[in-house]
Structure 1
Amino acid sequence: MKKLHYIIISALLFGGCQSDPRLESEASPLVRTKVSELYYAQSDNIDLEALNIVSPSKFVKKRNVYAILTPNSAYRFAIYDSESGNVTRLVPAGKNEGEGMYYISMNLQGDIVSAFDFGSGRLVEIDLNEYATPGYRPVFTSLAEDGKTPFGAIRLDERILSTGLYTAGRYCISQATGYNSYSVSYPTCADPTLTDTLKSIFYASNILALNPMHSKVACANMQSGCLDICEIHDNELSRINEVHMTTPRVKFNRHRPKGRGLTHPVTYSRNNLFGFCDLAVSENYIFALYSGRTLKDYNLDVDKGKTIVVFDWNGLHVRTYQLQNACSAISYDAADNTIYALSQEGNKPQIITLNL
């Protein structure tokens, strides 16, 4: 089956693209650079095909352990230990208890890897210290109760921070008691007259990342290239900054035509520049893997990029790096202060080291 489901949530849920004869304007100046010093030198690699890890899409790394998302495999996660050479597979495909359906991103906090399943509405968490223990089972937490429709989530200490089809605020912090706190308006978008429901659909495809102190969160949109940075105050958020890489090419259908069956509230042009593929964060910086590709030119490879744009936690641009390979994911390892990337160049998936 073609690997479409993990690429774009809003394309899955709300439809495809429209033809647009107009050419897209140039990408943000943040992604244009010809300074050779800003190119990463690539060294080392892990051949994932040789490990029988098929169609990987995302990964996170901590020391010698690589947690890899395999959305089309019988098991949704493969954990590779580069010291022992062992590969452990977790979370069988399915919608039952202990199984997983659709994941598009991963997070690493301490020793815990997490990913949100927007098919079941559950957050799965894998302990990198325990995963290889016989009988180990990941922890699943449901977020779909009380009529909520979350599209992305991340653990925030004893609480869970999520985005979704929310009208009371862009972000929701859910406590173990079941209390939900919503905050922050939706970012500025193409049409300020949109309802909050349409805005929530427009900003549906998100990647979330917390700074190490859990005092700030970065939210990167895949479809529109919007980076939203917020500060966390107890159970509420306040926006620090928002960065828009481009103006999205999108059509909003405010009313459902009678007798026409299924309609798509948000429809992207095939010339729309795809936004962020992945985020990696450190104490001081946000590393954003940017696509800038169009469906018209790249089809299902639109979710890959050769550009890493670096911001500080105030949303200020620091620098831009150009990669030699098209990559679908990046991960920052604080232990060696290095960025790693999942290269998809030539349909040969490899984890490569990017030396600053």
Structure 2
Amino acid sequence: MRHFFHFVFLFLFFVLIGCNTPGELKIKKYNINSSIVEIDSSLFGNPGRLMLSDSLFFISDDVGGFYFAVFDIKNKKFLKRFGKKGKGPNEIITPFNTFMYKGKFAFKTLNTENIATININDILTKSDPVINIIAKLREEKKALIHTNVIPLKNDNQFLSTGFFSNGKYAVIDIKNGTDSIFGTYSIPNVNMNQFNTGHIFQTGIIHHPSQKKIVNIGRVYDQIEIITYNDKGDYDIVTNNPSFQPEINYKSKPYRLSRSSRFAFLDISVTVKYIYILYSGKTYQEHGNGVFLSNKIHVYDWDLNKKCEYELNHEISSFIVTADDRHLYSFALSDNSELDLVKWDLIHH
């Protein structure tokens, strides 16, 4: 009888394991090919972050004394460059991240720590559009440095990632000029203070199109966090289970990521339904700067359920997905090494 129960236990164990396995098998993987968008790509230099507002594409592209460019994707027409470099009126020093704020093009600067906006109509119609500085962020050496900033749906508030001595996220109230820190870095086998951990484990954040939700992705550690918040200032964080452990070189000063440690997520785009993440999985030791290029797109819903994966026919460094989940755009090198704006048709929606 004892052997019988032992057999039943083993049988149930393997049945349970078997029940879990198909969940992984249900993750569909699609190989898709791109088409070239017929626009004069020679106008672009080294395009980075992409933003889409209606039919307007805004691109971070450091060319000819300007930081940004805009074109009309519907009419396939390059419109202009804007964001003049310099220290004078209506000029910019080192913009770091871009976003839309109250219907305006917005960005944060890296050295001067300003949050600024430009009216989109002014961008399109004026040769020297006015730059409005709406906030100057507080900094404190080795204690508080902001990197990526996004606006919250709570009035006059922004969320920032960066290097903070006492946490992971900063909530910035630009009306009252205050900030508060919440969340922590909890990374297995990493023994560093929060500021140094934030310095190595940089992340990227983006807001849900309509709900009070934010997704944060790890650049060198494949952690994904969904932050849900409310008007009372409550922040609830849900996270995935990362698939690998980062490797730190503790011999260097300051500490650095080991060259044999994998890079994780490179860029992110979201819609009402889904989260799209460009995944690297490469090491600097094997691929050098190739760690910043990938053809793998992982798709999640806003409950962190993985829906599918795409393998693109080109490696890319940044991308944008249209609001209807039908198309993915990026810049990629063609077979003749020309830089093209390309489009992939998505099929999981």
CA distance, structure 2, for counterparts of residue 297 and residue 146 of structure 1: 37
Residues 40-119 of structure 1 aligned to structure 2 (within 5 Å): 40-47=32-39, 49-50=41-42, 52-71=43-62, 73-82=64-73, 83=75, 85-94=77-86, 98-103=90-95, 105-108=97-100, 111-119=103-111
Change (3 A) 1:315 1:109: farther
Change (3 A) 1:198 1:54: same
The corresponding residue for 2:180 is 181
Amino acid at match of 1:275: A
CA deviation after TM superposition for structure 1 residue 298, in Å: 3.0
CA distance, structure 2, for counterparts of residue 264 and residue 143 of structure 1: 31
Change (3 A) 1:298 1:97: farther
Change (3 A) 1:74 1:236: farther
Mapped contact 2:151–2:158 kept (Cα < 8 A)? yes
Mapped contact 1:173–1:182 kept (Cα < 8 A)? yes
2:203 is the alignment partner of 1:206: yes
The corresponding residue for 1:19 is none
Amino acid at match of 2:151: R
Mapped contact 1:115–1:154 kept (Cα < 8 A)? no
Mapped contact 1:143–1:150 kept (Cα < 8 A)? no
* Larger displacement relative to structure 2 (205-214 or 132-141): 132-141
Amino acid at match of 1:144: L
Amino acid at match of 1:136: P
CA deviation after TM superposition for structure 1 residue 75, in Å: 0.8
CA distance, structure 2, for counterparts of residue 104 and residue 172 of structure 1: 17
The corresponding residue for 1:301 is 290
User: Structure 1 residue aligned with 2:163, among 165, 169, 178?
Assistant: 165
Residues 1-356 of structure 1 aligned to structure 2 (within 5 Å): 38-47=30-39, 49-50=41-42, 52-71=43-62, 73-82=64-73, 83=75, 85-94=77-86, 98-103=90-95, 105-108=97-100, 111-134=103-126, 135-145=128-138, 147=140, 148-157=144-153, 158-175=156-173, 176-186=175-185, 188-203=186-201, 205-234=202-231, 235-252=233-250, 264-334=253-323, 336-345=324-333, 348-356=338-346
Change (3 A) 1:191 1:36: closer
TM-score in terms of structure 2 length:
0.78
CA deviation after TM superposition for structure 1 residue 76, in Å: 0.8
Change (3 A) 1:169 1:319: same
**1:96-143 CA-partner distances (Å, limit 9, x unpaired):** 664444455543467444333323323343443442122422433444
Seq. identity, %? 17
CA distance, structure 2, for counterparts of residue 320 and residue 172 of structure 1: 32
Change (3 A) 1:317 1:89: same
Secondary structure, aligned partner of 1:244: coil
Change (3 A) 1:179 1:154: same
Which protein is richer in helix relative to its size? 2
Change (3 A) 1:243 1:265: farther
Secondary structure, aligned partner of 2:164: coil
- Work out the number of aligned pairs and report it: 313
- Point out the structure with max Rg over C-alpha: 2
Amino acid at match of 1:343: F
**1:40-90 CA-partner distances (Å, limit 9, x unpaired):** 34234255633x211112212233211011146521111112427243212
Change (3 A) 1:150 1:236: farther
By relative contact order (CA 8 Å, sep 6+), the higher-ranking structure is 1
TM-score in terms of structure 1 length:
0.77
CA deviation after TM superposition for structure 1 residue 160, in Å: 1.2
